[in-house]
Structure 1
Amino acid sequence: MSEKKMSSSRKHHLKSLMLQIAKGLLEEEERDREVQRTRYMAENCPPLSMPRSMQELQELCREIHRKVDTIDEERYDLEMKVSKSNKEIDDLKIKVQDLMGKFKKPVLKKVRMSADAMLKALLGSKHTVNLDLRANLKQVKKEVKEEDKKLRDVGDWRKNIDDKSDRKKMFDS
């Protein structure tokens, strides 16, 4: 399908709609939390009735102490669970780090190796053909310049000077 670009006004309109929906969802979550909080407080914290006698007051204090102890035990258990899970998470992170470290590519060293040795390393014992790369190159013979031949042939230094003087005459004219 061909993709068409949205106009900026359309993008802005869609973005504002999304923000309105998100705002409504957040408000609804907040109301639900408030309802749950009031329900929890009604179940676990009955309204306080002030005792009239000293004995009733002591009994109320003992009951409050028992509730505080049970809640404190629950809190301690939850803290231990959280610390245990945090320790497990840290151990798993360390294991992941170790595994990632094991698979790092090592820095390769430059190794001088002939083509034969390289093929032998790659193919193993299958490689029996010797590769002589220089054998395939074209043979080129050096051309010896005529002047060099003349210089070699000329044994007398006076003839060599005469040849040079002839050149000067050639360029002067």
Structure 2
Amino acid sequence: MADEDRALTEDEKKARKKADRERKRQEARDAAEKKKRFALTPEKKRKLRLLIMKMATDNLKGEQQKRLEARKNFIEQRLKPLDDLSSMSDAQLKSLCQDLHNQLKATEENRYDFELKVRKQDYDINELTIKINDIKGKFVKPSLKKVSKTEQKLNKIKKPKEDEPNFINMANLKQSTNKFALKEEQAEEEKINFRDQVQLKSAKEHKEEE
């Protein structure tokens, strides 16, 4: 009986191990299927990209339309429609022109004030950014001047390197050595001619003595 119970327990252990393996395999298959279902294939990526681009263009168009409407409303509030000019007298036309001139003058003054305010804000932002970078220890790269590579190459060609031999000086040296060689050859020829002359002179004197 004890052997049968032990055999049964071993069979149960094997069955449990087998069931665990099957369960893990099933879980792995389910996870792979789920991942495959929600994975972004190239086709899904392309469709998602197109959808994002379409949404972005729609948002930009909506913002642009809102800006145009706000600008139109602002202009309509500031610029009131003119009355019938044909029914106005000269004095009324002069007063209307004066009012329009004053309105234009006030608008230009406001525009100048706003531009000056924006410039001051930009300057303050730049100064604060520099201070923050100094505190953090970050170095702002200065704007460097662009230099064309062709100019650098030409400058390198113009400046002879110390290691490279100067072919012009070598050519001059060769020419100078050739000149000296020619002079030496001429001197040797003159020496030979002088000896011949001495020999001829001595031969003539010997004949005269005979």
TM-score by length of 2: 0.42
TM-score (norm 1): 0.50
